[in-house]
């Protein structure tokens, strides 16, 4: 499904088993643009040299070091959902967000090579302010790209047009629900991580 959905032309070595709880420092499925088309492979989640897993979109456009990544080293990080946590009293409750269509999508990402010759190429997810749905849980969200936006992120050359893409995904095209705290541990990586807590799917309400 990923290959067809995101226009992949070739695939590098990649473990393609389902993942339900990918953690920083692990490999993520990522797509880069090559002269012969889009290539799907593995990148380490954590941008060298500091291991940053997320980068604010505002930083990409204002910081000279990261502007180069925006201009030359963009990638798509493949996903079908993501987690955010809301504090309720003394408990942090995880919530799972996905497209209402339940189709796969991509996070806007940038990648970098390590300084060490034997190091691993890593990537970070670009974030933006939240839409109305995510705002009930967190004050940031990943830049979600679907369909045509994926091609634009990889192929666009104008920095201003790229910056304009770093916007929240429409809330009315997403859904969310609380899940078990199993996802709080990296040891848990099964379908139970994404099951609705209590068994009922519901939209996360906006705070009053």
Give the β-pairing of 37-45 and 122-128: parallel
How does pLDDT run across 56-91, given as a tens digit for each residue?
Answer: 999 898 888 888 899 999 999 999 999 999 988 888
Which segments in the chain show pLDDT lower than 70? 1-3, 198-208
Residue 146's pLDDT is what?
A: 87
Residue 64's pLDDT is what?
A: 83
Residue 14's pLDDT is what?
A: 77
CA distance 132 to 144: 14
CATH of 2-81+101-169 among 3.30.1370.30, 3.90.1680.10, 2.60.120.10, 3.30.2270.10: 3.90.1680.10
Give the β-pairing of 82-88 and 37-45: unpaired
CA distance 77 to 83: 15
Put simply, whether the predicted model's pTM sits higher than 0.75 gets the answer yes
Sign of the four-CA dihedral 99, 102, 108, 114: positive
Residue environment code for 5-35, b if the CB has 16+ CB neighbours within 10 A, otherwise e? ebebeeeeeeeeeebbbbeeeebbbbbbbee
Tokens 């408990």, located at residue: 91
Cα of first residue to Cα of last residue in the chain, in angstroms, is: 39
CA distance 74 to 71: 7
Residue 96 CA to chain centroid, in angstroms?
A: 13
Written as six digits, the tokens of 197 are 């807590």
Q: Name the strand (E) or helix (H) holding 38.
A: strand 37-45
């Amino acid at each position: 499904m990923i290959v067809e959905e995101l226009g992949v032309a070739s695939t590098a070595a990649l473990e393609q088993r389902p993942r339900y709880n990918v953690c920083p420092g692990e490999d993520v499925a990522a797509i880069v643009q090559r002269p012969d088309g889009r290539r799907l492979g593995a990148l380490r989640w954590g941008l060298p040299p500091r291991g940053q897993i997320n980068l604010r979109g505002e930083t990409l456009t204002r910081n000279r070091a990261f502007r180069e990544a925006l201009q030359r080293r963009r990638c798509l990080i493949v996903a079908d959902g993501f987690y955010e946590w809301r504090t309720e009293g003394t408990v942090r409750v995880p919530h799972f967000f996905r497209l209402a269509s339940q189709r796969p999508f991509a996070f806007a990402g940038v990648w970098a090579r390590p300084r060490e010759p034997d190091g691993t190429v890593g990537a970070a997810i670009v974030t933006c302010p939240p839409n109305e749905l995510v705002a009930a849980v967190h004050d940031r969200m990943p830049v979600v790209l679907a369909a045509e936006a994926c091609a634009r992120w990889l192929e666009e050359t104008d920095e201003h047009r790229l910056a304009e893409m770093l916007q929240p995904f429409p809330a009315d095209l997403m859904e969310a629900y609380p899940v078990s705290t199993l996802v709080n541990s990296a040891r848990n990586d099964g379908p139970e991580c994404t099951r609705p807590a209590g068994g009922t799917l519901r939209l996360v309400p906006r705070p009053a």
